[in-house]
Amino acid sequence: MKLDSVTLAILGNKLAAVSEEMCLTLQRTGRTLYVKETADFACALAGLDGRFFAYPRSIGVSGFVGLECAPAIAAVGPLEPGDVILTNDPYRSEGLATHLPDLHMIEPYFHDGRIVAYGWCFVHCSDVGGRVPSSISPTNTEIFQEGLRIPPVKLMKRGEMNPDVKLFLDANSRTPDANMGDIRAMLAALTAGRRRLEQTIGQHGAETVSQAAEDLVSYAAEKARAVIDRVPAGTYAFSDYLDDDAVTKLPVRLSLAATFGNGEVHLDFTGTDPQVATAMNIPSRGRPHAWLTLRVLALVSTLDPTAPLNVGLLGPVRITAPEGSLVNPQEPAATGVRHAAAIRVNDVLNGAFGKALPHVMPAASSGSVIPVVMAEPDGQGGKRVQVIEPMIGGTGARSGSDGVDGRDSGISNLSNNPVETVEAEMAVEILRYGLRPDSGGVGQWRGGCGMELTFRVLAGGTNVLGRGMERLLFRPWGSNGGGPGMPAQLIVNKGRADERHLGKIDILEVNAGDTVTFLTPGAGGWGPASLRDPQAVAGDVRNGFVTAEGARAGYGVVIAHGEVDEAATAGLRKTFAVSNNPNDQGPERERWNSVFDGDVMDQLNQKLVALPAASRQRRRRDILERVLAGLPQNFPRVDADHGAIQIARQQLEAALSDL
Amino acid sequence: MKEGGARIGIDVGGTFTDFVLSHPSDGSLTYYKEPSTPDEPSRALIEGLRSLLRIAGLTPADVSVLMHGTTIGLNAIIQRRGATIALVVSEGYRDILEIARSRMPSSFDFHAAKEEPLVPRFRVVEIAARLSASGEVTSRPDDAEIDRVAGELKALGVDAAAMVLINGYTSPEVETELAARLSERAGGLSITSAAAIWPEIREYERTLVACLNAYIQPLMQRYFNGLAEGLAKDGVTAPILVTASNGGSLSLASAAARPVETILSGPASGVMAAARLAEAADVSAIITFDMGGTSSDIAVASGGTAELATRTDIGGLPLVLPVVDVSAIGAGGGSIVWVDAHGVMKVGPQSAGAMPGPVSYGRGGTEPAVTDCYLALGYIDPNGFLGGRMRLDIEAATAALCGIGGRIGMSGENAAQKAAEGALAVTTAGMATELYKTLASRGLDPATFALVPFGGAGPTHANLLAEETGIGHVVIPPAAGTFCAMGAAAADLRRDFVRSLRRPLDEDTAALLWRTFDMLGEEGADWLDREGEQTLERRFERGVDMRYAGQAYELRVSLAEDLKDPKAIAEAFHREHERLYGFRDTGAEIELGTARLAVIGATANLAQAEIAAGTGNPERKGARPLFRKGAWLDAGVYSRSALGAGDRIIGPAIIEQDDTTTVVLPGWSARADRAGNLHLERQAQ
């Protein structure tokens, strides 16, 4: 760092504020729901290397600090004042954009005839065409189904909008006016950033500002290194599964080995499944991409909240993401719902870091974000579509603290919808919107409760969509002896004669009068449940987070008349084993592992990823289906006998050696 | 109100209880500060009032009205020291407070916790009662159900309760009536109905209004009763008004019924005083800058009135009542200056508070604070603090700042001053960036505003902030240190009413909107009649939240009295939309959201006392060195009370008064106007 302490403090503050002021401008002038309500946008300042030196802390999407603008800038050739680059293509922008609805813009900021910085912003716009309205569907198999791909182009040339580009944009969206409204808001944000940067240069000089940009990145990197250095050196491995890829019933595996040492962390995703034929792929391009490193940022920010938010925080991070895998797919893999896989990426980082820092990292959070959407007849032959509630669960417990019930900001920190505004706009009656008792993983520290949403549909011809449903099979895991959270469930007409339990749905057709109940997973517990203070259990029972039966079965605590029955509890706890399972992932995962154990799956995936892209998915499906054919139909929800498991293992190993 | 009596404004703060008295004969003002008695706040108020009257040469019978602001409710909420309350809620919604709006305070910090709910889950009781969005009662509790709930409430042994029914806002009378029946069967338990107190759509936010009210009501009622009794014993028969968060005031009885309307009254009063002062001084648009011990706040005002917000944060809880829109922008005089492990200087957010206070207070503080920087740089006089009642230790402050300098490579001559100047630069840059952001979110440019500083450190820091933000005009009120009390003394009566409509705009709904305004207006007029204060003039302000159908956000549009035609209402919305967002969508359907009506009863204006004309060139009372941009300058020191109207001082200069010090930087001048305001203006280069 070359600047003096005072100047660096001042410019650190001012430059971060430029990015926040850009965001405020965008939010004020933006047109659509994504901008106004869910804040799915961000703005930042990038240096000449295209990496962010100033990023907003308190507004917009927080995780995109690690994105890189350089490939998009290089793609368009020389820039002039007033030029603005537009792109949404994950492949041609090399991972700047990660799915097509995200429109990214870059404006070169000039001073005295040369570029001193770049302004950047993005907005999740309403629709960029493609197979389905809003452009995103988990069942898209190629990016070509996901809408208009915009390679990096000059939307603005010397301050004038390129009419040809506009024609393409307008012709390829179901909502061209709303998109153009958001594009104009982005341009306003870039202008606000340019003006404020010019003013800052006027006050401090261009050289000082450029130096500050460099120094701030070094400063953040130093802080990140200091945090990483607190992690005991070594390699920590962890794996987790998505229940399925949204089309086949086969689980999708994510595997990570995190190696800490010398102030660095190496994240190696070798052993992760090949890219899937649905839209859950994360187009990282093999870089320390935002979607793969969110938990590193969280770790640094948790242990040193004063670290400035910029790319320096990722300075100590190296990454290996095998090409052709879920975390570095090859074109033309679909990427629309990459955040669904990113949630599980967060979980594997969390699990691996938890082995290194058991008293810092929490157990798994509920790990799903489900925008429960209803599409009802609009009376004009079409459908009115609206999110009823974005359903999340809770956060994992950690050493010294219970998890948070019914809230989880791990992947996004969205507001819910007031029930009254939903009922005012849609033909629905929301019967219950609350916490789900007993769903939090047991432990010395209890995992956060998941949630319940039950609603009655009042109009026929209505569809319910629950995209993003996850953890119906593999549970949010506990830590250091803590138990896993309850898995998710979906029930139609709960408590009625025609009650139905459904698995994952894409689109559910319901009749007028039907009720639909979403139960989200609970989060993992921390530490053995038998060590939980009985009074804390009694408090949970009193508040209804845990039932009396749950207290007895999960904690060995007997509650009578609202109080702990000390004698009965002591007796019951004697029969309770103190769990020492470092990560209790639940019986389903144990059964799965009894056939598909970690080492074999690592080897399988290394071999699969080496195959030509076209045959990877097919070979994997063939192998897994053949192995599962000899097991009970609902495996791993149900036990298989020892003989069947042995046969399945042998089949798997044979298939592996045939590859 | 007694004609021609004295108006007294009182602001009960954490450290001091401030008084301002407007004298009945000539409008002259008397100021007084009494140390607060947080254990029993009315004691300082009653004792201070005795002293104030003695100083002013008046008796209790001469008082025409007492206007009074308090932070008791706010502190109880922040420290969670309110009453033990229960919440009664529609079946299926027991977790309304646990879930809130489902957001966490931080998205990165995985050790972050959510806010502690005002009512723990075991004291939330469900009742089989709710309405539909169109206002029909779809679930009506029978007697057995009401008895069951009443039984549970009794068993919980609570002091008070709040009630909210889903869609209760559509027909407030349903919930009001149920609350009354329930109260009757629960032994007369006080139950705040959310729909009665604030019938606005959005169940969580409305629930909080009711819970906050129930939570602070027992405490506030005790306080108000004690106060009224104590004052009556002293022979004060004048009505007591309580200032409100919306910048207005209410009678003691109204405030006891709806204490939630008063929780942010302190900062609101200061901003309203500044707004009125600016209007009287012909300054069109201002940013107020209230810098106290722990933090600084800004607000925007124009045309004599402050901007209101309908979503503020109270100790982590959102409040949707209209309140004067005050935003925190960073450090106060007690904020600590420190250096992090990587050698970067920081100011705050830790504050030295009153104990131990800055190093120079000599009460055991070892880390320098912003006030120590003022002292080391010559901005404030070590012997003149609080009118000379407290001597500051300049040597200790300088030594501590030298220590800071050493850690960031500042050594040799004036190392302490360089460190102090650096710390003030960091402080000011932090404030400026927050100020820019606050204005950017409303599309405003700071350069078009004047800055009105108050609070103990506001006038000391204002010139630095103006210089940094490109503001060219600073207006410093006469009694900047007791400004919130001043605001209280002049507050109007005001109450806000809402009713959520949620209908598309057409002929019928425009008529419905105006019927709603008429109904709310009658309610408001009745309220004013009951408040007891004779008001000079009553006024109704009407507005409605509107949006284009399908849009996620609403815009507040003010409606003039004659704007009844739906086309004219639509045009008013289009225009406002265009002003804020740069486009209009003439093809889209427009929806009416929440109708809002404010009823305002203007009270007596404070007579404007004028100061005598000066000579133009006031005399210095002394001089002292002022450190600026690495060098010592010679600055004239002036006494504020000796300045006459029209007097002009060229910076660098220091203008001292009992409760604060004004710094005039080089390149700026100060001019006193007839009202005693000091105008700092950037001089032409």
Residue B604, sorted as left (phi over 0), alpha (psi -120 to 50) or beta, turns out to be beta
pLDDT at residue B129, as a whole number:
98
Q: What residues have CB less than 8 Å from A382, skipping those under 6 apart? A: none
CATH class in words for B6-77+220-262: alpha beta
Q: Which of A197-201, A502-506, B492-496, B502-506 has the lowest mean pLDDT?
A: A502-506
Q: What is the mean predicted confidence (pLDDT) over A295-302?
A: 91
Positive or negative, the CA dihedral A218, A223, A226, A228 is negative
Mean pLDDT (chain B) is 91
> Could you give the C-alpha distances from A353 to A230, A282, A295, A396, A419, in angstroms and in order?
12, 21, 9, 14, 38
Q: Which of residues 478-537 of B touch A (CB under 8 A)?
A: 502
Instruction: Show me where the domains of chain A are located.
Output: 5-223, 364-528, 587-658
Q: What is the mean predicted confidence (pLDDT) over B465-473?
A: 95
Q: How confident is the model at residue B533 (pLDDT cuts 50, 70, 90)?
A: low
Residue A583: which of A478, A444, A443, A446 has the closest Cα?
A: A478
Listing from the earlier edge strand, what are the strands of the sheet with A234-242? A234-242, A252-261, A264-268, A317-320
pLDDT at residue B406, as a whole number:
93
ipTM of the complex: 0.92
> Could you give the C-alpha distances from A628 to A161, A625, A656, in angstroms and in order?
56, 5, 15
User: Out of A404, A409, A415, whose CB is closest to B107?
Assistant: A409
Q: Do B307 and B268 contact (CB within 8 A), yes or no?
A: no
Closest residue in chain A to residue B469, using alpha carbons only: A199
Q: What is the mean predicted confidence (pLDDT) over B231-238?
A: 92
The verdict on a CB contact (< 8 Å) between B553 and A36 is yes
B355 or B455, which is more confident?
B455
Q: What is the mean predicted confidence (pLDDT) over A354-381?
A: 91
pLDDT at residue A160, as a whole number:
96
pLDDT digits (tens, 9 = 90+) for A331-346: 999 999 898 899 999 9
Beta strands in B149-273 (DSSP E): 160-164, 190-193, 240-243, 249-251
**Residue B362 pLDDT > 80, yes or no?**
yes
Q: How confident is the model at residue B401 (pLDDT cuts 50, 70, 90)?
A: very high
The DSSP line for A404-465 is PTT---SS-------HHHHHHHSSEEEEEEEE-TT-SPPSSBPPPP-EEEEEEE-SSSEEEE
> Could you give the C-alpha distances from B647 to B359, B613, B616, in angstroms and in order?
36, 8, 4
Q: Which of residues 201-240 of B touch A (CB under 8 A)?
A: 201-205
Q: What is the mean predicted confidence (pLDDT) over A18-31?
A: 87
| Residues of chain B contacting A434 with CB distance shorter than 8 Å | 92-95, 98-99
User: Out of A6, A362, A423, whose CB is closest to B110?
Assistant: A362
pLDDT at residue A33, as a whole number:
64
**Residue A360 pLDDT > 80, yes or no?**
yes
Q: What residues have CB less than 8 Å from A501, skipping those under 6 apart? A: A489, A490, A491
How close is the nearest chain B Cα to the Cα of A558, in Å?
A: 19
Q: What is the mean predicted confidence (pLDDT) over B74-91?
A: 93
Per-residue tokens: B553: 């956000």
Backbone dihedral angles phi then psi of residue B378, each to the nearest 5 degrees:
85, 10
User: Out of A302, A412, A433, whose CB is closest to B111?
Assistant: A302
pLDDT at residue B586, as a whole number:
83
Q: What is the mean predicted confidence (pLDDT) over B384-408?
A: 90
B313 or B293, which is more confident?
B313
> Could you give the C-alpha distances from B604 to B1, B270, B301, B493, in angstroms and in order?
10, 18, 21, 11
**Residue B534 pLDDT > 70, yes or no?**
no
**Residue A643 pLDDT > 90, yes or no?**
yes
The verdict on a CB contact (< 8 Å) between A21 and B436 is yes
pLDDT digits (tens, 9 = 90+) for A110-130: 999 999 999 999 999 988 999
pLDDT at residue B1, as a whole number:
41
The verdict on a CB contact (< 8 Å) between A17 and B437 is yes
Query: Domain B493-602 maps to which CATH number in 1.20.120, 3.30.43, 3.90.79, 3.30.1490?
Result: 3.30.1490
Q: What residues have CB less than 8 Å from B647, skipping those under 6 apart? A: B614, B615, B616, B617, B618, B671, B672
**Residue B3 pLDDT > 70, yes or no?**
no
By three-state DSSP, how is residue B345 classified? strand
Mutate which: A4, A8, A10, vs B, most B CBs within 10 A = A10
Q: What is the pTM of this model?
A: 0.92
By three-state DSSP, how is residue A324 classified? coil
The verdict on a CB contact (< 8 Å) between B203 and A413 is no
pLDDT at residue B473, as a whole number:
97
pLDDT at residue A274, as a whole number:
94
Backbone dihedral angles phi then psi of residue A438, each to the nearest 5 degrees:
65, 5
User: Out of B202, B426, B430, whose CB is closest to A6?
Assistant: B426
Q: CA B300, CA B275: separation in Å to the nearest integer?
A: 9
Q: How confident is the model at residue B36 (pLDDT cuts 50, 70, 90)?
A: confident
Q: How confident is the model at residue A15 (pLDDT cuts 50, 70, 90)?
A: very high
pLDDT at residue B2, as a whole number:
45
A186 or A413, which is more confident?
A186
Q: Which of A242-251, B111-120, B438-447 has the lowest mean pLDDT?
A: B438-447
> Could you give the C-alpha distances from A319 to A90, A286, A519, in angstroms and in order?
18, 7, 36
Closest residue in chain B to residue A429, using alpha carbons only: B132
Hey, which residues does A451 pair with through a beta bridge?
A: A435
Closest residue in chain B to residue A454, using alpha carbons only: B92
Angle, helices A206-228/A290-303, rounded to nearest 10 degrees: 80
Per-residue tokens: B293: 């011990």
Residue showing tokens 């968060």: B245
User: Out of B109, B120, B583, whose CB is closest to A305?
Assistant: B109
pLDDT at residue A484, as a whole number:
98
Q: How confident is the model at residue A36 (pLDDT cuts 50, 70, 90)?
A: low
Per-residue tokens: A528: 């053995």
pLDDT at residue A281, as a whole number:
96
Q: Do A520 and A393 contact (CB within 8 A), yes or no?
A: yes
Q: What is the mean predicted confidence (pLDDT) over B61-86?
A: 90
pLDDT at residue A132, as a whole number:
85
Report the DSSP pairing between strands A102-111 and A500-502. unpaired
User: Out of B92, B102, B581, whose CB is closest to A407?
Assistant: B102
Mutate which: A409, A411, A413, A518, vs B, most B CBs within 10 A = A409
pLDDT digits (tens, 9 = 90+) for A218-227: 999 999 999 9
Q: How confident is the model at residue B455 (pLDDT cuts 50, 70, 90)?
A: confident
Percent over 90 (pLDDT), chain B? 69
How close is the nearest chain A Cα to the Cα of B442, in Å?
A: 7
The verdict on a CB contact (< 8 Å) between B202 and A542 is no
Hey, which residues does A39 pair with through a beta bridge?
A: none
User: Out of A223, A390, A418, whose CB is closest to B201?
Assistant: A418
pLDDT digits (tens, 9 = 90+) for B135-171: 999 999 999 999 999 999 999 999 999 999 999 999 9
- The size of the A-B interface in CB pairs under 8 A is 191
Hey, which residues does A491 pair with through a beta bridge?
A: A501, A517
Q: How confident is the model at residue A192 (pLDDT cuts 50, 70, 90)?
A: very high
Q: What is the mean predicted confidence (pLDDT) over B533-561?
A: 84
Q: CA B490, CA A369: separation in Å to the nearest integer?
A: 52
Positive or negative, the CA dihedral A356, A362, A363, A368 is negative
pLDDT at residue B607, as a whole number:
67
pLDDT at residue A38, as a whole number:
67
pLDDT digits (tens, 9 = 90+) for B97-112: 999 988 887 777 888 8
Residue type, B644: G
Q: Which of residues 318-347 of B touch A (CB under 8 A)?
A: 339-346
Q: What residues have CB less than 8 Å from A562, skipping those under 6 apart? A: A538, A541, A542
B434 touches chain A (CB under 8 A): yes
pLDDT digits (tens, 9 = 90+) for B584-626: 888 888 999 999 999 999 876 666 778 899 999 999 999 999 9
B28 or B204, which is more confident?
B204
Q: What residues have CB less than 8 Å from A352, skipping those under 6 apart? A: A236, A237, A238, A256, A257, A258
Please count the CA atoms within 13 angstroms of the CA of B286 that sit on its side-chain side.
34
Percent over 70 (pLDDT), chain B? 97
